Amino acid sequence: MKFSVNWLREFVELPSGVDELAELLTLAGIEIEGIEKRGANFDNVVVAQINSSVQHPNADRLSVCQVDDGSGQPRQIVCGAKNYKVGDKVPLALPGAVLVNDLKIKPSKLRGVESQGMLCSPSELGLSEDGDGLLILSPEAQIGQPIGSLFPEDTVLDVEITPNRGDLLSHFGLAREIAALTGAATPSSRTVTRNDADQPARGRAGSIKISAPNECPFYSARRIENIKVGPSPDWLRAKLEAVGLRSINNIVDISNFVMLELGQPTHAFDADKLKGEIVVRRAREGEKFLALDGKTYTLTSRDLVIADQERVVGIGGVMGGEETGVTASTRNVLLEAAYFLPSSIRRTSRTLNLPSDASYRFERRVDPAMILPASQRATELIGELAAGNPAAEIATAGALPEPPPDVSLRYERCDELIGVPVPKERVVQILEGFGLKKARVTDDETSWRIPSFRSDLQREADLIEEVVRVFGIENVPVRYRSRFTPESEADRGHDLESELRARLAGRGLAEVRTSKLISRKAAEFEEGAIELRNPLNEDHVALRRSFYPSLLDVWVRNVLGGTHRVAIFEVGRVFIPPEGREERYLGILLWGNSGPSAHWRSKNRILDYFDLKGVIESVIPSASFRRVERPGLILAVEIWRGAERIGFAGQVASERTKPIDSTHPVLFAELNLASFAHLEGGLIFRGIEKFPAITRDIAMIVPENLSHEKIFTTIASANEPLLAKVELFDVFSGSEGNFGVGKKSLAYTLTYRDKTRTLTNDEIAVVHAKIRERLQRELGVELRE
Amino acid sequence: MSHELEQLRDAALSEIGGAGDEQTLEAARVRYLGRAGSISAWADRMKSLSKEEKPVVGKLLNEARTSVTAAIAEAADRLRAAKEARELADIDISLPGTAAELGSLHPLTQMLDRAISIFRRMGFALAEGPDVETEWHCFDALNTAPDHPARNEQDTFYLPDGRLLRTHTSTVQIRTMEKAPPPIRVIAPGAAYRRDEVDATHSAQFHQIEGLYVDEKVSIGDLKGTLEFFLHELFGAETQVRFRPHYFPFTEPSFEIDVKSKALKGGEKWLEMCGCGMVHPAVFEQVNSARGDTAYDPKKWSGFAFGLGMDRLAMILFGIPDLRYFAANDLRFLRQFA
């Protein structure tokens, strides 16, 4: 909400500078979002009246005006604006005036005609952006009066009020808060209404009926007759415009003014258009209503309405109706001031998508004690500014909400929670400053009566917060306190993830983090993925159940960005349908060059299945792989760890990689990390071999379909105690060698070792021969020399 | 006049000393010390020498062998060193070094790791909770009124079954207290979701670290000490830290924290960093009712909680101008954090 500093000053003594005020409020939790200087305090700019206007003899677009500046001498001004009529009062800059942008005014000749000054637009006076025409002042403005008295210098604060502090949504309310923070004299609502004697008698309840007392516990209406609807006086317009409201007419402006001043919204109906008594009720299902904004709303039985005997005339606390609004021809008004249930207003305003200044305040709860004073204030102003003649009585129905219950404060608890002792007298002084009154007092504890405007103060902690706000959190000393904390399951999970990430980054992969919300398009490939009930757009419609669509998407965007290598992984949660069980997965995608795109020493390969497998083995050395069929993959394997299937890997079918049309394979793997307590490769010392090893190679020609795994297990099944290691070091397929199509050549290095002695060539020759013989016998391989 | 062997030795030493390459040196070795070499030949001649000559010539022969052998070894070292120097003299040391593809960790991961490591030094353990939450854990338990605007379908993503995507990691406060009695000292890094259109400073999914400390007589002084220490560790000891009263339904009193530091992007003004406050007694009461006991008696226990926006912290700390970089995963961006 925007606040005028001048307006605040009417109620409370302010700190000397605006910056001090802003600092005071900010540190008390009332955030200042903007500070704007306003006003038109210029020397030599006065109110003038245009007495005549004729066409400039030499310029189509200019006029020559004779104006009265109060000096007794008529003054001739050449003017380019068209929005005035003779008799209007406008600002006149006399020679010697210096306006916005350092515009210096002096007598001059415009196309041969003398001009002794300049008539001003709002923008030339820095009052608004509006530079289209002259600023037309109200008829009451005094000719010759300095313009600064109509538009005094002011500062406007844009203040963020938190939702619990509806009591600050008015100049009076913020002034009251400032007084509590600085210790200045507290303003009283009596300073705005004239005196108690003028308060009307309450009565004529028969003219209002409340049939929804929960949503509207209290309603008042005052009839004011013989009003003259017209423009507002300059002071009123200036006040509204300073805080960002547009002037409409005197009646609407008064209602807005009182709301900004006291925080209580009021509404003026054209009394002659109301049919019979006012009924406050719930809307009928499907009931239609034409609001002041010109739109028709369809209501439900959850919406509270103000109705007459024939139709809805207002959505309670939100907006009045077009048909019963005040117009230029309105003669009599009915002025509403009421209390509406915050939650009801909030619901209606939200469902109709119809926020208003009034609903904003009712949602945050208005001060019940301010309803009738606000009505009185508006009535008085209508009497003054629109010649209205108020009824002696104000019609009321229902009862004002109960005052907030008392709240107890234990002084010891206050000190404990703040962390530093605050003297009892200081606590009392602070709370009394906020308008609280002692209800019951013991040595350790005081029960406090809460003022009607502070229903947010419901508990001891709320009172302690008020103490801290004034005492100043900067006066609370910091304390360092620790406690030994055992490792949690989440700690272990985090550390596992960290180690996994470090290993994969060490293998040259880049970590990505994609959104857990996937697009409509991606969701089409993710059968069963849980969809949101209320997605905001097509990019975020479902919860990912796999990294597959997200990593493919990252791949596409990076290839389009010109990269030649994509080696990425992601670790994080996926959501398993149907109930959305959250599991930690690892996704890997490889594509393109094995190394940097161009380097004088690198021989670049294209990444393939074995690169992917190598990455997986670097994380899970014991992983085994089984070939399977899987939709979307042209080469698919399952990844097993012991007896548990933990994921899959493979080469993505080209139908899924169409956006890029790459000839290089796209490799993808996904693993469920749920069963991982820690990575393999324990932290246990295994000893360093002391005695030298002997190595022997075996090369063999085998059919293409004989797998490495089969050969490896055949060698291993010899259970030869001296055999320490078997390594495949060469693979040749038949088309590359000279041993015929349909065959391949494999070559292995076998390492022999004994922990306790140096082996001799002779004993190894025996063992090695046995293994060769075994391969020949069991697999029929053709051994090469 | 000197013995013939001495002359032979001197000739050998001079030839070896003058050898300019390994072939010449090898040829000299063969000529003098080879099986049929001229010095070796004296060993055969020894048999035919007289008793008187034998020891004299024997000594000379030994000396000659030793000095020539040493000279050959010395010359070999000299020649090898010269050869190596020649070979390396022509290397273009400006050629690029052998390249390796470095992997990288996402900047948000690095941000989280930094923050977590600071809190761990302060004695916080990690905690976690689900992204898909019940309305009770996300709102009711956190003292958020049934008609609070945050619950609205316009601000919060709902699932068809009525559950929702948590709008803050504060849900983990409740999850943690449901499971374990006080004292509690945890942080919970995690994702949260808001129904926001994506732009430079908003995203549907964002990342937070939630903190919760419940113990006897926990005070605002503890809250201040903890978060001031954290922010100084993260941004540097010269960083100014300011606490401002604020409003959150689940803490009372509540604060926002601002920092100011010339070393930070945009840090010449106060930057909002963190929401925090003392755990609202109503939150303890909700937890008690869910637990079915009075473990979190608000009269006995107090605590503080805080929520730090990791995306925003990373943007400030790494000078990243637009939130959308995080989810785009452009490798040209990610590699900057390798």
Judgement on whether residues A304 and A218 belong to the same structural domain of the protein: yes
Judgement on whether residues A537 and A606 belong to the same structural domain of the protein: yes
Instruction: Give residue A535's pLDDT.
Output: 93
Instruction: Give residue A213's pLDDT.
Output: 94
Find the domain containing A280 and state its range. 196-398
Residue A147 — pLDDT band, cuts 50, 70, 90?
confident
Mean pLDDT of A509-531: 92
- Best probe of the B interface among A30, A31, A491, by most B CBs < 10 A, is A491
Residue A361 — pLDDT band, cuts 50, 70, 90?
very high
pLDDT at A23 over 80: yes
Instruction: Give residue B230's pLDDT.
Output: 96
Beta strands in chain B, from DSSP E residues, in sequence order? 125-126, 132-133, 164-165, 184-193, 205-216, 240-248, 251-260, 271-279, 301-309
Instruction: Give residue A595's pLDDT.
Output: 81
pLDDT tens digits, A634-644 = 999 999 998 99
pLDDT at B98 over 70: yes
Alpha helices in A88-207 (DSSP H): 171-182
Interior angle at CA A515, CA A512 and CA A520, nearest 5? 130
Judgement on whether residues A388 and A271 belong to the same structural domain of the protein: yes
Distance CA B311, CA B313 (A): 6
Q: How many domains does chain A have?
A: 6
Residue A112 — pLDDT band, cuts 50, 70, 90?
confident
pLDDT at A667 over 90: yes
Instruction: Give residue A206's pLDDT.
Output: 56
pLDDT at A527 over 50: yes
Q: In chain B, which residues have their Cβ closer than 8 Å to the Cβ of A28?
A: 245
Please tell me the distance in Å from A579's CA to the nearest CA on chain B.
9
User: Looking at the domain assignment, is residue A127 inside a domain?
Assistant: yes
User: Looking at the domain assignment, is residue A540 inside a domain?
Assistant: yes
Residue B239, both tokens: 């960083």
Domain B107-337, CATH homologous superfamily name and number: Bira Bifunctional Protein; Domain 2 (3.30.930.10)
Work out how many CB contacts closer than 8 A connect A with B. Answer: 246
User: Looking at the domain assignment, is residue A685 inside a domain?
Assistant: no
Let me know: does A167 contact A454? Beta carbons within 8 Å. Answer: yes
Query: Any idea what the CATH number is for the domain that residue A20 is in?
Result: 3.30.56.10
Judgement on whether residues A135 and A68 belong to the same structural domain of the protein: yes
Judgement on whether residues A496 and A615 belong to the same structural domain of the protein: yes
Three-class DSSP category at A461: helix
Query: Any idea what the CATH number is for the domain that residue A723 is in?
Result: 3.30.70.380
pLDDT tens digits, A572-587 = 999 999 999 999 999 9
Determine contact: A464 vs chain B, CB below 8 A: yes
pLDDT tens digits, A489-499 = 999 999 999 99
Judgement on whether residues A531 and A648 belong to the same structural domain of the protein: yes
- Best probe of the A interface among B217, B252, B310, by most A CBs < 10 A, is B252
Let me know: does A593 contact A606? Beta carbons within 8 Å. Answer: yes
> Per-domain residue ranges for chain B?
4-89, 107-337
Domain boundary among A441, A470, A499: A470
Contact A482 B122 (CB under 8 A): yes
pLDDT at A36 over 80: yes
Judgement on whether residues A101 and A222 belong to the same structural domain of the protein: no
Residue A677 — pLDDT band, cuts 50, 70, 90?
low
Average pLDDT, chain A: 90
Interior angle at CA B334, CA B330 and CA B338, nearest 5? 155
DSSP states of A186-222 as a string?
Answer: PP-GGGTS--GGGPPEEE-GGGEEES-TTT-SEEEEE
DSSP states of A574-611 as a string?
Answer: EEETTTTEEEEEEEEEEEEBSS-SS-SS----B--HHH
Residue A127, both tokens: 């009052």
User: Looking at the domain assignment, is residue A476 inside a domain?
Assistant: no
User: Looking at the domain assignment, is residue A228 inside a domain?
Assistant: yes
User: Looking at the domain assignment, is residue A478 inside a domain?
Assistant: no
pLDDT tens digits, A340-358 = 999 999 989 988 999 999 9
Which residue in chain A is spatially nearest to B161 when comparing CA positions?
A: A533
| Residue of A527, A528, A594, A518 lying closest to A554 (CA atoms) | A518
Judgement on whether residues A216 and A361 belong to the same structural domain of the protein: yes
Look-up of token digits 């961006």: B333
Instruction: Give residue A598's pLDDT.
Output: 76
| Residue of A296, A299, A300, A292 lying closest to A322 (CA atoms) | A292
Determine contact: A532 vs chain B, CB below 8 A: yes
pLDDT tens digits, B204-258 = 999 999 999 999 999 999 999 999 999 999 999 999 999 999 999 999 999 999 9
Nearest-by-Cβ selection for A479 from B96, B103, B225:
B225
Helices A424-433 and A171-182: crossing angle in degrees, nearest 10, is 160
Instruction: Give residue A119's pLDDT.
Output: 92
Instruction: Give residue B151's pLDDT.
Output: 80
Which long-range contacts link A728-735 to residues 24+ away (Cβ below 8 Å)? A729/A697, A730/A699, A733/A704, A734/A704
Mean pLDDT of A239-267: 93
Domain boundary among A343, A365, A398: A398
User: Looking at the domain assignment, is residue A682 inside a domain?
Assistant: no
pLDDT at A197 over 50: no
DSSP β-bridge partners for residue B279: B251
CB crowding A580-613: b at 16 or more within 10 Å, else e: bebebbbbbbbbbbbbeeeeeebeeebbebebbb
Instruction: Give residue A554's pLDDT.
Output: 96
Residues written for chain A: 785
pLDDT tens digits, A149-186 = 877 788 999 999 998 999 999 999 999 999 999 998 88
